[in-house]
A and B are shown apart, each in its own frame.
Chain A
């Protein structure tokens, strides 16, 4: 129990999210989600569109607060944090990877990777060194000075992954990271996640694709705002294959 407590990274209990509270069109999107993610796990949340998985991710990513329920991230009760503190937790504990990459326009790759460190107050030199290292790791060493507009989708997503790692976050939240990519570049991105997971990063993948979910260690299915199933994948064969390829 003690080690379990220590290894627990995300702990969600009875998370309910309602919109338009008090209005005739009041809407409950999440109906009491209980969920845990432990350190070093590669977990996927699978659901069709409209299932509430995006709302769940917003809650997990501290972009939105639950209406009811308790949520602990790395032992921190988010009920007790104000907006500025939530910004700090987002900055330090969470690395976002979006389907649409969301690189800051007119800002080159290395500056984009530096951004989270900028908000963390990391000194310039250290920032640049770390960003270079991360871009090298995702195979973008030769495009550091490129603007987002000059990069392909796959390249943008690799820069985004490098950016998500900037402050050594406890968890990477990837929302449909391959959704806008073709299968080949999608593969490169997925392999990158496997590699990061093997290095010990906790990754939470939100996807509608069962195929991708099968690559992860544990699949949480969500439908109509409730968890409908949870399954540990016995052996993620593609991960090993991917590693063998690289």
Chain B
């Protein structure tokens, strides 16, 4: 018989017993609603975490000098235990050289989008007229701006000429411009200021103004000094060395940062094979994001399992009420058989009815769950992001419950003896 007719019949019979149908659905509604709510909150949370980590640079890889561990023990989950040799301070020989970085850059080529190096130079106080500003000067590669998401409000990044020609260019912060000259960023380009580095007094020219991150916490803590960036080569000359304790690498488009991080570590560790105390380690935000995601996934799964039990209980409720319904409608079943209904069409009728109960319950549950999830996400201060997959999955799953728990009562109806069914009081 036609599916459409069966669906219509199912709705007719549900309408006839509205409150009972609703109560039956309750188990399914609660089960599905909790799954969807949890998924929505979990999804919102992990989206928020991911995006906040991404803003810190998910494709960034930190490469740094670290002390060698002794008596290492690596657990199955990747956590390494071990003690650190009592420290001798890192000497000049231990530091990362520019040559190592260049070698790495050549070896990995396109996999690297940018190399961000920051060489701290000095702190100083700059005065222009009666205005003054505390600054902290460091030499950076152009990749630094990319690696740290620093946007320019005016001017340009360092040109090749400035990088190699050791020009006295400087990229300064918005707030420093305001403090010193009380002008807009555009008007600050070309202005000079005097600094003392390594007992050398020199003039720096503003070639760019960067936008400061509006992070209340950070600005409170270090509101006194703002960063001034000078070309890395200039900084190296002023400091008389080309050595670094750490640097960052921005992985190229489509490159797996976690894998690249490992390769870089292996490559650079090669230079430290004979070093007694030091080696190179690397850390990548992407793997952090991944493990965070894994953790969220595990929590979601665990809670979903509990919700699954609620659904199971709901399904048993549906089966129970379908059995009651089949018994109540014994005469109807007998009549239908007398009129020519086959066992299969009786079975289909009741299975569809149970599937519709569950599907309606599932739909209400999805709506309720989305509402609760959105509310939960809002209370936690995240944007609600419902997961489409879980909505679709829940609806399909609720129909599957209807099918599974509806089969037994439907089969009971189908197998009824028509004579007994017709005479049933």
Contact = CB atoms under 8 A, between A and B. Distances in A.
A91 B340 contact: yes
Given A63-B418, A96-B338, A104-B332, 16 more contacts: A83-B343, A84-B343, A84-B344, A87-B341, A88-B342, A90-B337, A90-B338, A90-B339, A105-B16, A106-B15, A107-B12, A118-B1, A119-B341, A120-B340, A121-B2, A163-B339
Interface of B: 1-2, 5, 12-13, 15-16, 331-332, 334-345, 418-419, 422
A63 B333 CA distance: 13
Contacts of A88: 340, 342
Contacts of A98: 335, 422
Interface string A58-74: 10010110000000000
Interface in A166-187: 167
Interface in A98-144: 98, 102-107, 115-116, 118-121
Contact of B342 (A84, A105, A118): A84
A87 B16 contact: no
Nearest to B337: A87
A163 B338 CA distance: 12
Nearest to A115: B339
Q: Identify the interface centre among B5, B13, B331, B335: most chain A CB within 10 Å of its CB.
A: B335
A116 B340 CA distance: 6
A106 B16 contact: yes
20 contacts: A63-B337, A63-B338, A63-B422, A64-B419, A83-B342, A83-B343, A84-B344, A92-B340, A96-B339, A104-B335, A104-B336, A106-B13, A106-B16, A107-B12, A115-B339, A119-B1, A119-B336, A119-B341, A119-B345, A121-B1
B331 to A, nearest CB: 7
A64 B338 CA distance: 11
Interface residues of A, number: 27
Main secondary structure of the interface of B (DSSP, over half): helix
A106 B12 contact: yes
A167 B341 CA distance: 13
Instruction: List the 9 closest pairs (A to B, CB-CB), nearest first.
Output: A91-B340, A87-B342, A102-B335, A119-B340, A106-B16, A116-B339, A63-B418, A96-B338, A90-B340
B360 to A, nearest CB: 18
A224 B13 CA distance: 42
B338 A102 contact: yes
B256 to A, nearest CB: 58
Contacts of B332: 104-105
Given A63-B419, A84-B343, A106-B12, A115 B1 contact: no
A64 B423 CA distance: 13
B18 to A, nearest CB: 12
A167 B331 CA distance: 21
A6 B419 CA distance: 30
Nearest to B335: A102
A61 B340 CA distance: 11
Nearest to A175: B422
A106 B17 CA distance: 10
Nearest to A93: B340
Contacts of A102: 331, 334-335, 338, 422
Contacts of A107: 12
Contacts of B418: 63
Nearest to A105: B332
Contacts of B338: 61, 63, 90, 96, 102
Contact of A91 (B13, B339, B344): B339
A106 B344 CA distance: 22
Contacts of A163: 339
A118 B344 contact: no
Contacts of A104: 332, 335-336
B92 to A, nearest CB: 91
Contacts of B15: 106
A58 B419 contact: yes
A103 B331 CA distance: 9
A96 B418 CA distance: 13
A102 B419 CA distance: 13
B374 to A, nearest CB: 38
Q: Identify the interface centre among B331, B342, B343, B345: most chain A CB within 10 Å of its CB.
A: B342
Nearest to A85: B342
Contacts of B335: 98, 102-104
Contacts of B344: 84
Contacts of B339: 90-91, 96, 115-116, 119, 163
